[in-house]
Amino acid sequence: MNESLQTVTGFNTSAGALATSRNRVLRNTYWLLAVSMIPTVLGAWIGVQSGIMAAMGPGMSLVVFLVGAFGLMYAIEKTKDSSTGVFVLLGFTFFMGLMLSRLLAAVLGFSNGASLIMTAFGGTAVIFAGMATLATVIKRDLSGMGKFLMVGALLILVAGLINFFVQSSALMLTLSVLCIALFSAFMVYDLKRVIDGGETNYISATLAIYLDIYNVFQSLLSILGIFGGERD
């Protein structure tokens, strides 16, 4: 009898500790995600004001983006178990804000550009809130989705590189719509991994969710610019 009670007590203690650990990772992830928006906005503002991305030209911008983004993501994974990882992540989000400045500058060229940016921001916030809620109520294991989502992301990346040379508006629009659907699904998947304990490092979790939000925002803004941009 006593052994049974000890087993139950030990199990409850272990389950409680596991739940506390998961909640701590989720809380730290949300905190770091919120902080990461500050360097993103700063990088975007500097990029728009300086026009550095426009000065580089499309080809050089693409090279800088690919080398910088993948290089910094590699550095984040290498330093994720130390406080250095936080600073590398914030440096990455500054870089991504800088990369976003070309699109922002183009949209701000419309008379209603500021309104379109706020609409894209609001739409992204609504999507994130919806996906975060969905991740908390879904009970089934979503770990099997990871492989399919990654294949989808790679296909979109390849198609995006092809469209860089083809410059097809129709393909750009199609990719933007697919990106919104794909990275919205990624939000649910990445958040569910944290909630279920599949991801225990809050820096890695923040990186994944940040990229989801970034891609949804960028795609929404592209669509709004195509259909809603107004010239003076």
Of 144, 159, 168, 190, nearest to 30 by C-alpha is: 190
Residues 6+ apart with CB under 8 A from 8: none
**Do 226 and 169 contact (CB within 8 A), yes or no?**
yes
Domain total of the chain? 1
Q: CA-CA distance, 74 to 142, in Å (whole number)?
A: 25
List, run by run, the mean pLDDT of 10-residue segments along the chain (232 residues): 51 61 87 96 94 82 90 95 94 96 91 92 95 89 85 91 85 92 94 87 94 96 85 72
Angle at 94 between CA 92 and CA 98, to 5 degrees: 115
**Do 82 and 69 contact (CB within 8 A), yes or no?**
no
- Crossing angle of helices 113-137 and 202-228, in 10° steps, is 140
pLDDT at 11: 47
Domain boundaries, position 219: 2-228
**Residues of the chain by 3-state class (helix, strand, coil), percent to 5:** 90, 0, 10
pTM above 0.75, yes or no: yes
Instruction: Please provide the distance, in angstroms rounded to a whole number, between the alpha carbons at the two ends of the chain.
Output: 82
Token readout for 188 is 């649910």
Angle at 195 between CA 33 and CA 32, to 5 degrees: 15
pLDDT at 13: 56
